Amino acid sequence: MDNTIFGFAYLLSAVLFILALKGLSSPVSARKGNTYGMIGMTIAVVTTLMLHGSGLDISSYTNIIIAVAIGGIFGSILALKISMTALPQLVAAFHSLVGLAAVFVAIGAYKNPGAFFEGGIISTGSMIEMSLGLAIGAITFSGSVIAFAKLQGLVSGNPLVFKGQHLINLIIFLAILTLIYLISMNPMNPENSQYFWMIVGLSFFIGFLVVLPIGGADMPVVVSMLNSYSGWAACGIGFTLQNTALIITGALVGSSGAILSYIMCKGMNRSIVSVLLGGFGGDSDAAAAVAGGPKGNVKQGSADDASFIMGNAQKVIIVPGYGMAVSQAQHALREMCDILKEKGVEVKYAIHPVAGRMPGHMNVLLAEANVPYDEVFELEEINHEFATADVAFVIGANDVTNPLAKTDPQSPIYGMPILDVEKAATTLFLKRSMASGYAGVDNDLFFRDKTMMLLGDAKQTTEEIVQSLNLS
């Protein structure tokens, strides 16, 4: 059969992938977009098998079918069982698999050039593309493994820094580039295969080193960045295979991850360089004890107080943070808001761009608890409304509300866009303790007259408020 038709098929699958991303511009079109993505993937797989497997009898496919079946079943179970709180870990784990797959494809191509390259000769250009794909894939893998371990709590979320770290990273990085140069100068020389394995090893190693010093609170950036890397790795392999579907898809994913990283950095007023250099932001609880003594009078309230204030309010804005996810308070929260709405209170939700451990994490958690998405607003959309709100209900968030970000140039969070909860008539804080947030900065909102602290587990406190609202 003419190869042109296969070219068209790959183009079609690339277009379907673009439509899959396009669909995500609105929750209404998103599910259809997802279906386009699945069709695109099916086309790509079938096309490849027809193009490269022509003339093979069906038994040659047995191994492939088994591999797809095992992977598919495992992936499906993961996707269906995972709790929405643990999504960031799942995404990190998935990224690692893309990276590792790129590594294996590169090894496969290197070891069997006859199947991948015209005349079985790896040209210098192909070798450069392949080793870039290989290196980025390996970095994606090991970086994602560390990100997974941090998010899952297997290793401490605190940044791990040591002296000379950046110098070591730089040396390893330059060594990888040198090795790519050496192997690409003479790709077919079997003696050069040692360079190939050194690239794999060093890339794995630098992936670990790059993510280890990055703190738990910077994970939204890391997850987005690794997403981007997985795309570029796919691109590198796509160039090697001269496969347009792979190149286009890799470029889409690469730029998507880069944009998300940019949005996340902007949400924290940090540069991507400062995030990568690491050392900022450990687990919020770890910083708790050392965060300094009391700075004034704190007004503590009970669930009854909170239910009284909100029951008599006209407008309540909910500000969820990672603490809500940790205590799984979203369902109780939605129940509370339902009662408030029945009482005629206007309820809206305000989401800070870096709330949670991955982009959009809060939105998914609220959607899981059946909060309609048209009650949930982004920072720019809703920030001016705090001035007209009677209550700002901050549940498990801290730094993203800290007015120091606007007033104190010395503060590590200075310049970070914050939700103006202090403009509401009353600010209710649901927190486990008086500890400072991940940035290690005290939030002086806690000590203001208009603020009431409700200390304890977010879910338990919210449930108590629900009970109290039901009685009143």
Strand order in the sheet with 451-455: 376-378, 346-351, 315-320, 391-395, 426-431, 451-455
The Cα 145–Cα 207 span in angstroms is 9
- Residue 239 as a binder of another protein (CB under 8 A): the answer is yes
Closer of 253 and 441 to another protein (Cβ): 253
Closer of 185 and 259 to another protein (Cβ): 259
Phi-psi region of 415 (alpha: psi -120 to 50; beta: other; left: phi over 0): left
Beta bridge partners of 428: 393, 452
Note if 399 is an active site residue.
yes
The DSSP string of 172-203 is: HHHHHHHHHHHHHHSTT-GGGHHHHHHHHHHH
Choose the binding region for another protein from 21-29, 145-153, 328-336, 463-471 (rule: CB under 8 A): 21-29
Closer of 79 and 288 to another protein (Cβ): 79
- Residue 401 as a binder of another protein (CB under 8 A): the answer is no
Collect all residues with Cβ–Cβ distance below 8 Å to 157 and sequence separation of at least 6. Answer: 150, 151, 215, 216, 217, 219, 282, 283, 286
Beta carbons of 58 and 72 less than 8 angstroms apart: no
State which of positions 88-127 bind another protein (CB under 8 A). Answer: 90-91, 94-95, 97-98, 100-102, 104-105, 107-109, 111-112, 114-116, 125
- Residue 284 as a binder of another protein (CB under 8 A): the answer is no
Closer of 230 and 468 to another protein (Cβ): 230
- Residue 12 as a binder of another protein (CB under 8 A): the answer is no
The Cα 187–Cα 23 span in angstroms is 42
The Cα 254–Cα 257 span in angstroms is 5
The Cα 373–Cα 389 span in angstroms is 20
- Residue 413 as a binder of another protein (CB under 8 A): the answer is no
Count of residues near another protein by CB under 8 A: 115
The Cα 380–Cα 95 span in angstroms is 30
According to CB under 8 A, which one of 18, 149, 172, 286 is a site residue for another protein? 18
- Residue 386 as a binder of another protein (CB under 8 A): the answer is no
According to CB under 8 A, which one of 176, 183, 206, 241 is a site residue for another protein? 241
According to CB under 8 A, which one of 5, 8, 72, 197 is a site residue for another protein? 72
Closer of 232 and 429 to another protein (Cβ): 232
According to CB under 8 A, which one of 5, 38, 121, 171 is a site residue for another protein? 38
Q: Which stretches of 117-271 are DSSP H helices?
A: 124-152, 165-185, 193-211, 219-241, 244-268
State which of positions 195-234 bind another protein (CB under 8 A). Answer: 223-224, 227, 230-231, 233-234
The Cα 422–Cα 428 span in angstroms is 10
- Residue 396 as a binder of another protein (CB under 8 A): the answer is no
- In whole angstroms, the minimum distance from the beta carbon of 68 to another protein comes to 5
Q: HSE of 158 in the Cβ direction (CA atoms, 13 Å)?
A: 9
The catalytic residue among 218, 399, 420, 442 is 399
Q: What is the largest CA-CA distance in the chain?
A: 82
Beta bridge partners of 346: 315
- In whole angstroms, the minimum distance from the beta carbon of 427 to another protein comes to 24
- Residue 34 as a binder of another protein (CB under 8 A): the answer is yes
- Residue 317 as a binder of another protein (CB under 8 A): the answer is no
Closer of 100 and 413 to another protein (Cβ): 100
Q: Which residue has the tokens 């190869």?
A: 3
According to CB under 8 A, which one of 131, 142, 184, 243 is a site residue for another protein? 243
Catalytic positions? 399
